[in-house]
């Protein structure tokens, strides 16, 4: 009896020590800085399809948001300093529609590019007057082609300093994916694809994309048959090795463009009415293999899933840690109990570490991180990166800084989203950048716990 008490006491003390070590690791690794106060009556500042909400060029980090009066605000700082330089632009957005997000990028010469305020509306785009400046020039056209019904503007950086710009031309249920290319040498935009993925006037492709270290552009998408989210189905894939001009399947087979429902490579078959979400995230490992994070339910509970390519074969990891069912349905911006996920890949001791950023009502709507090693039998572990909830926030992190320094900077704001494009009555809330200096160390401390 006495030995059992000593054993239990020793076990408790060890657990307490490990918990303390984890808390210390959190405090030393996690910090935040406030940029300013932003519109929070819906999720327009934090929707998942922002590319990007935050980005770093050399030693300068840029961000953007709508303030409480719906003005587009730009921000800049030296990386890992607390002093942000703020510029309220003369441009406004229709913030009552959460589709009308802001996306930004910095080209290879240091010019800031910003696009904002779109939901089947005319292109709104401006470029900084000088490198590293927050002073935007006039609103201008990119190519003057297919710029009347723009939705979901997204910038992607190429290793050579050029940019590509993705957007949907047309309406939900019958839209097409357009790709423009910016050349830092000529400082001009050209249209590469007027219709990369064709909905054939019957459906739309809702995509996510990434660019790997070799400049290969990876795109994956789900098809939606109507404006209603429950008609999402099937996860498809394409890649381009020449900056977006030509496209192929994962097998190397060339696509005849545009890609259609009949010709698309299906990475994972998912039927309609599976609670499959759209517009999530993807990234690649050091070998250029794509990893796609999303969620759907295979039984009754929607779970975060990772679909990935390994040795030419599409595979899937079910994170499996959620316990609460819900059902997706209808149109507009939804109030959903979980966020669309973001994904990070790292190599740790010759093993591939998969990390999922998300928010879940099960965990009090905190910023959470799920992680597991590829081909490891251990289940996904989950830790919280914040102590308080963040409403209906969705993740967006500094991709360029993660690629260059493996430092995780997350755009963060506590927002409210009423179902079906509703607008709440809230005061402006703080826009902050949550910094995780050493993610691997934090995860290692969590495993020890």
Q: How many domains does the chain fold into? A: 1
Band of pLDDT at residue 3, cut at 50, 70 and 90: low
Q: How, if at all, do strands 313-318 and 303-310 pair?
A: antiparallel
Instruction: Kindly tell me if the per-residue pLDDT of 18 is higher than 50.
Output: no
Question: pLDDT at position 12, please?
Answer: 40
User: Taking all residues of the chain, what is their mean pLDDT, rounded to a whole number?
Assistant: 92
**Structural domain span for residue 299:** 2-448
Residue range 347-353: mean pLDDT, rounded? 91
Q: Regarding predicted confidence, which is higher, 9 or 126?
A: 126
For the whole model, what pTM was predicted?
A: 0.92
Lowest mean pLDDT among 219-223, 299-303, 410-414: 299-303
Report CA-CA distances (Å) from 30 to 36, 97, 384: 19, 32, 11
What percentage of residues in the chain have a pLDDT greater than 90?
81
Q: Regarding predicted confidence, which is higher, 20 or 389?
A: 389
Mind listing the pLDDT tens digit for each residue in 409-434?
A: 999 999 999 886 778 888 999 999 99
CATH (domain of 136): 2.120.10.10
Question: pLDDT at position 24, please?
Answer: 45
Report CA-CA distances (Å) from 318 to 223, 234, 272, 304: 21, 16, 19, 6
Band of pLDDT at residue 17, cut at 50, 70 and 90: very low
The SS3 call for residue 352 is strand
C-alpha–C-alpha distance, residues 184 and 262, integer Å: 37
Question: pLDDT at position 344, please?
Answer: 97
Question: pLDDT at position 421, please?
Answer: 73
Instruction: Classify each residue of 268-296 as buried b or exposed e, where b means 16 or more C-beta atoms within 10 Å of its C-beta.
Output: bebeeebbbbbbbbbbbbeeebbbbbbbb
Residues whose CB is less than 8 angstroms from the CB of residue 444 and which lie 6 or more positions away in sequence, other chains included: none
- Answer whether 260's CB lies under 8 Å from 200's CB: yes
- Answer whether 418's CB lies under 8 Å from 42's CB: yes
Return the residue matching tokens 């047309």. 170
Question: pLDDT at position 20, please?
Answer: 39
Mind listing the pLDDT tens digit for each residue in 255-288?
A: 999 999 999 999 999 999 999 999 999 999 999 9
Question: pLDDT at position 335, please?
Answer: 86
C-alpha–C-alpha distance, residues 64 and 123, integer Å: 18
What's the angle, vertex CA 156, arms to CA 150 and CA 160, rounded to 5? 135
Band of pLDDT at residue 289, cut at 50, 70 and 90: very high
Mind listing the pLDDT tens digit for each residue in 63-77?
A: 999 999 999 999 999
Return the residue matching tokens 């939900």. 172
Instruction: Classify each residue of 352-370 as buried b or exposed e, where b means 16 or more C-beta atoms within 10 Å of its C-beta.
Output: bbbbbbbbbeebebbbbbb
- Answer whether 209's CB lies under 8 Å from 199's CB: no
Band of pLDDT at residue 332, cut at 50, 70 and 90: confident
Question: pLDDT at position 16, please?
Answer: 37
Report CA-CA distances (Å) from 374 to 217, 273, 285, 340, 377: 23, 29, 11, 21, 9
Instruction: Kindly tell me if the per-residue pLDDT of 377 is higher than 90.
Output: no
Mind listing the pLDDT tens digit for each residue in 356-366?
A: 999 999 999 99
Mind listing the pLDDT tens digit for each residue in 172-209?
A: 667 889 999 999 999 999 999 999 999 898 899 999 99
Closest residue by Cα to residue 102 from 90, 87, 113: 113
- Answer whether 178's CB lies under 8 Å from 149's CB: no
Please, which residues bridge with residue 387 across strands? none
Return the residue matching tokens 């595979």. 315
Band of pLDDT at residue 162, cut at 50, 70 and 90: very high
Query: How is residue 79 written in tokens?
Result: 């990386």
Closest residue by Cα to residue 362 from 411, 303, 307, 416: 303
- Answer whether 290's CB lies under 8 Å from 309's CB: yes
DSSP letter (8 states) at residue 341: P
Mind listing the pLDDT tens digit for each residue in 77-133?
A: 999 999 999 999 999 999 999 999 999 999 999 999 999 999 999 999 999 999 999
């Amino acid at each position: 009896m006495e030995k059992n008490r000593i054993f239990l006491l020793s076990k408790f003390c060890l657990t307490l020590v490990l918990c303390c070590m984890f808390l210390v690791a959190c405090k030393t690794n996690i910090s935040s800085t406030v940029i300013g106060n932003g519109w929070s009556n819906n999720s327009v500042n934090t929707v998942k399809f922002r590319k990007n909400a935050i980005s770093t060029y050399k030693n300068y980090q840029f961000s953007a948001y709508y303030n409480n009066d719906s003005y587009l605000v730009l921000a800049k700082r030296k990386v890992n300093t607390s002093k942000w330089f703020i510029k309220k632009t003369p441009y406004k957005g229709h913030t009552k529609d959460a589709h009308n997000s802001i996306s930004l990028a910095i080209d290879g010469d240091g010019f800031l590019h910003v696009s904002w305020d779109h939901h089947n509306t005319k292109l709104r785009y401006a470029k900084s007057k000088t490198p590293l400046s927050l002073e935007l020039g006039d609103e201008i056209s990119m190519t003057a082609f297919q710029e009347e019904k723009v939705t979901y503007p997204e910038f992607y950086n190429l290793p050579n300093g050029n940019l590509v710009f993705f957007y949907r031309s047309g309406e939900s249920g019958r839209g097409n994916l357009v790709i423009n290319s910016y050349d830092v040498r000529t400082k001009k935009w050209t249209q590469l694809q007027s219709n990369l993925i064709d909905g054939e006037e019957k459906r739309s492709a809702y995509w996510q994309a990434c660019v790997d270290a070799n400049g290969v552009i990876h795109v994956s998408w789900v098809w939606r048959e109507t404006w209603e989210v429950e008609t999402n189905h099937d996860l498809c894939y394409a890649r381009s090795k020449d900056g977006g001009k030509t496209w192929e399947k994962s097998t190397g087979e060339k696509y005849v463009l545009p890609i259609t429902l009949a010709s698309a490579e299906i990475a994972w078959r998912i039927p309609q009415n599976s609670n499959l979400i759209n517009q999530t995230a993807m990234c690649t490992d050091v070998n250029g293999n794509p990893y796609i994070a999303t969620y759907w339910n295979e039984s009754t509970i929607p779970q975060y899933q990772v679909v990935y390519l390994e040795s030419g074969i599409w595979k899937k990891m079910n994170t499996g840690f959620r316990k609460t069912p819900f059902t997706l349905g209808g149109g507009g911006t939804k109030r959903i109990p979980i966020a669309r996920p973001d994904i990070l890949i790292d190599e740790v001791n010759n093993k591939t570490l998969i990390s999922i950023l998300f928010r879940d009502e099960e965990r009090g709507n905190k910023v959470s991180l799920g992680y597991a090693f590829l081909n490891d039998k251990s289940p996904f572990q989950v830790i919280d990166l914040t102590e308080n909830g963040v409403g209906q926030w969705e993740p967006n992190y500094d991709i360029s800084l993660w690629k260059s320094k493996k430092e995780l900077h997350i755009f963060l704001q506590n927002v409210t989203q009423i179902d079906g494009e509703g607008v709440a009555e809230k005061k402006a809330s703080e826009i902050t950048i949550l910094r995780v200096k050493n993610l691997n160390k934090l995860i290692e401390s969590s495993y020890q716990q």
